[in-house]
Amino acid sequence: MEKFTYGNLARGRKTVVDLLTMIAPAAVPCYLIRDIDMSWANQVKSDLQERGVKITVTAILLKAIAIAQKLHPASRSDILPFGRMVTYEDIVGGFTIERDENGSDTVYFGEIESPDQKSLSEIAQELVSYAQSNTSELAPLALQKLYTGLPYLIRRFILAIACVFPSMRIKCQKATFGLTTLGKYNVKSVLSPCICTSTFGIGTVEDRAMAVDGRICVMPTMTVSFNFNTRAMDAEAASAFFEDVCRLMEGRLADYIESDFENAPHPLAPVRRLQEAHSV
């Protein structure tokens, strides 16, 4: 005799499951994966730490992606029925949040508006707010909690309308890109599902041996995966966008974060690629 038990889908997973079963299947995903030298990013974290400002890799990456999206409109576009395209003008960073709701794990999607225009410290503060504030105090989370309480058919109807009308999509979810981070679980990287045109996944930052300019060096490295919908963005455009994200993370972001260092005791300068590396 076969033994099994029935149960209901946890309320906290309904939003994720709906997106995976309605949005992701319509996409034709393609992955780009690259290792990023985190020497410069670590130096920025250290400099801000000396000023009493604590930031994370997530904050730096959110800003880097947002700036790259400003330069690459295709990365914030989407395809509509009958071959029409829509490009979202307001850049919004989306990221996953795991919270304990009534004893069960719940996954929410946080949103930070205009991260390309905000300082790293402002982005870091919003990330902390999403981690510590009550769900009712954060509009995106409160809306998602309300959504999960709706009947199955109504939830699906709302998503179906959002896939056709951009104005409805913005009311449901504003994010022009998504970011999943699993570093706290000691995961090296993650291949995220394609629930919007541009989705990123990251894991831990770890020291790795790499060949640079004919030398074997040990440097802090992070593997970043970029999942894009080929129906809305071709591989060439996606590669150029991803390249800019990586270059920003490796030092070019210095031109966009002066406000974080206005009162710094030492002037900020981009860290050269090998400055933090150790020859072996």
The SS3 assignment for 181 reads strand
**Tell me, what's the pLDDT at 275?**
39
**Tell me, what's the pLDDT at 277?**
39
Q: Write phi, then psi, for 58 (nearest 5 degrees).
A: -60, -45
CB 180 within 8 A of CB 192: yes
The SS3 assignment for 159 reads helix
Between CA 93 and CA 175 the distance in angstroms is 5
How do residues 167-194 score in pLDDT, each as one tens digit?
Answer: 999 988 899 999 999 888 888 888 988 9
Q: Which fold has domain 12-252?
A: Chloramphenicol Acetyltransferase (3.30.559)
Tokens standing for 199?
A: 């989705």
Tokens standing for 240?
A: 């150029």
Q: How much is the pTM? A: 0.89
How do residues 75-128 score in pLDDT, each as one tens digit?
Answer: 999 999 888 999 999 999 999 888 877 777 788 899 999 999 999 999 999 999
pLDDT grade for 271, boundaries at 50, 70 and 90? very low
How do residues 135-160 score in pLDDT, each as one tens digit?
Answer: 889 999 999 999 999 999 999 999 99
DSSP string, 92-125: EEEEEEEEEETTEEEEEEEEEE-TTTS-HHHHHH
The SS3 assignment for 258 reads helix
CA atoms within 13 A on the CB side of 247: 10
**Tell me, what's the pLDDT at 250?**
95
Between CA 43 and CA 118 the distance in angstroms is 20
How do residues 246-269 score in pLDDT, each as one tens digit?
Answer: 999 999 999 999 877 775 545 444
Return the domain boundaries, the chain. 12-252
**Tell me, what's the pLDDT at 11?**
81
Euclidean distance between the first and the last CA atom of the chain, given in angstroms as a whole number? 61
**Tell me, what's the pLDDT at 273?**
39
Q: Taking 70 as the threshold, does the pLDDT of residue 241 lie above it?
A: yes
Q: How far apart, in Å, are the Cα atoms of 224 and each of 31, 35, 54?
A: 10, 6, 22
How do residues 3-61 score in pLDDT, each as one tens digit?
Answer: 888 888 888 788 888 998 988 888 999 999 999 999 999 999 999 988 888 999 999 99
C-alpha closest to that of 37 among 177, 187, 209: 209
How do residues 190-234 score in pLDDT, each as one tens digit?
Answer: 898 898 999 999 999 999 988 878 889 899 999 999 999 999 999
